[in-house]
């Protein structure tokens, strides 16, 4: 089925945008039962006779502008709402959807399962790139940006986190109701819910920072990895510009996780990342850097994912340099040597294909592209490029072509000849 992005067929629709999600939900941890409403404020891009939303749960009742639609149905992961009358381009409409079900990760050919997933005792939501419809109706493409209000009621024994600012917590018998807001427009895959038996502590930093995790998480290797987050934040603010969100939350699950998870204003790690090992430290830096590159400035299509992952990978090398470990140049030469063993990558960096979009070579070659740029233009211009890239495109969807043009504008000369071999050739360029 055709969708908005060839990497994730069947997801997303370019004929409309969702501007705001209001999600009053109830969830039972014991039965993994989710039910509630989604109230979406949408704006037509083209002339609409129907609205096609991504949803993998059951839609029980739908209204548009307070009235029943002509009809609605759920099929092949789409909630298709036939409108009573056409909506013209630029017009807005409000859609209310009552829905319910047992959310689970979504499988997709060529991609790992993603979405709402049960832990041993709680919930983790990791939606990149196609898991958001596992728990709420959305226009599931990275270029559809929306603000959010979440109200989630669950057992009082559990703590809830969301990709936004806490508003209130209210106890009601055996349940608690948690309210959050996210006033910055974010893509659906960046909205997460985390539920567990967690405690909250704060870290003193240049922006408000919270650590949410199980009891005893500050033992062992916490100080060497998560304990460095305030220093990382201070450095990244200097290097990349002001932090894009109101606060930063780090959720550490009681379970071990293979990889950490990014979402807006919040990153999620397994307790195994509380370690002094460089692989843990670098990933703490990596996920924080995504708040600028990926979450504030987001790709228009998944083929340009190096604009997220290459930048976050390079942030690892920058933090290594800043914290007195190996320099970014040393890391670049190390990984260039490893990639050069293969000589050719399986696809160009600007279009790695869905099969390879999360391959390590995409991350490393993206970071090497930035290092080649830095060596060419010097530190002052390089960091000016990064800061102005974020400042000029915050809350926008971007492409590689825009980044190449931006580099030339800031440097005052055409940098496309430098960048083209890194971006478009399968052969690995030399690192001067």
Two structure tokens written together for 51: 């609205």
Nearest residue to 207 (alpha-carbon basis) of 163, 238, 171: 238
DSSP 109-156: TTEEEEEEEEETTEEEEE-TTTTGGGTS-B--STT--EEEEEEEEEET
Helix (H, G, I), strand (E, B) or coil at 393: helix
Kindly report whether the global pTM for this prediction surpasses the value 0.95.
yes
The answer to whether residues 159 and 200 touch, using CB atoms and an 8 Å cutoff, is yes
SS3 assignment, position 425: coil
> Which residues in the chain show pLDDT less than 70?
1, 343
Going by DSSP bridges, is the β-strand pair 165-172/48-54 parallel, antiparallel, or unpaired? unpaired
Contact call for residues 225 and 276 (beta carbons, < 8 A): yes
Beta strands in 300-345 (DSSP E): none
Are β-strands 78-87 and 16-28 bridged in parallel, bridged antiparallel, or unpaired? unpaired
Tabulate helix, strand, coil % of the chain (nearest 5): 30, 35, 35
The pLDDT value recorded for residue 1 is 55
pLDDT of residue 220: 73
3-state secondary structure (DSSP) of residue 47: coil
Within 10 angstroms of residue 405's Cβ, the number of other Cβ atoms is: 14
What pLDDT sits at residue 3? 82
The answer for residues whose C-beta is within 8 angstroms of residue 197's C-beta and 6 or more apart is 121, 122, 157, 158, 159, 214, 254
The Cβ-side half-sphere exposure at 150, using a 13 Å CA radius, reads 23
Domains of the chain: 1-108+125-191 (2.60.40.1730), 198-291 (1.10.390.10), 297-424 (1.10.390.10)
């Amino acid at each position: 089925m055709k969708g908005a992005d060839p990497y994730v067929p069947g997801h997303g629709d370019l004929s409309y945008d969702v501007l705001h999600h209001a999600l009053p939900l109830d969830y039972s941890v014991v039965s993994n039962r989710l039910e509630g409403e989604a109230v979406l404020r949408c704006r037509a891009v083209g002339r609409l006779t129907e609205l096609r939303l991504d949803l993998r749960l059951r839609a029980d009742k739908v209204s548009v502008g307070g009235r029943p639609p002509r009809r609605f149905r759920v099929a092949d992961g789409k909630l298709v709402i036939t409108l009573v009358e056409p909506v013209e381009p630029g017009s807005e409409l409000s859609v209310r959807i009552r829905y319910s079900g047992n959310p689970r990760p979504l499988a997709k050919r060529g991609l790992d399962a993603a979405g709402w997933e049960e832990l041993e005792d709680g919930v983790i939501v990791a939606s990149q790139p196609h898991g958001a419809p596992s728990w709420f109706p959305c226009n599931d493409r990275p270029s559809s940006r929306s603000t959010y209000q979440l109200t989630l009621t669950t057992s009082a024994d559990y703590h809830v986190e969301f990709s936004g600012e806490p508003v209130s917590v209210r106890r009601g018998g055996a349940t608690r109701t948690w309210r959050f807001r996210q006033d910055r427009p974010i893509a659906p895959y960046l909205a997460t819910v985390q539920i567990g038996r967690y405690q909250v502590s704060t870290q003193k930093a240049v922006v408000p920072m919270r650590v949410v995790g199980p009891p005893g998480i500050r033992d062992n290797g916490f100080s060497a990895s998560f304990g460095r987050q305030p220093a990382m934040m201070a450095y990244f603010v200097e290097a990349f510009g002001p932090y894009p969100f109101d606060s930063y939350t780090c959720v550490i699950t009681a379970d071990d996780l293979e990889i950490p998870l990014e979402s807006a204003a919040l990153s999620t790690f397994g307790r195994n990342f509380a370690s002094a090992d460089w692989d843990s430290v670098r990933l703490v830096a990596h996920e924080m850097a995504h708040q600028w590159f990926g979450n504030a400035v987001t790709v228009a299509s998944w083929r340009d994912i190096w604009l997220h992952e290459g930048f976050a990978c390079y942030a690892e090398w920058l933090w290594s340099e800043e914290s007195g470990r190996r320099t970014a140049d040393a890391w670049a030469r190390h990984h260039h040597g490893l990639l050069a063993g293969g000589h050719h990558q399986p696809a160009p960096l600007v279009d790695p294909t869905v099969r390879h979009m999360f391959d390590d070579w995409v991350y490393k070659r993206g970071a090497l592209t930035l290092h080649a740029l830095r060596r060419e233009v010097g530190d002052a211009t390089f960091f000016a490029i990064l800061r102005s890239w974020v400042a000029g495109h915050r809350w926008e969807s971007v492409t590689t072509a825009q980044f190449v043009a931006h580099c030339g504008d800031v440097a005052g000369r055409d940098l496309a000849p430098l960048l083209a071999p890194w971006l478009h050739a399968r052969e690995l360029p030399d690192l001067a």
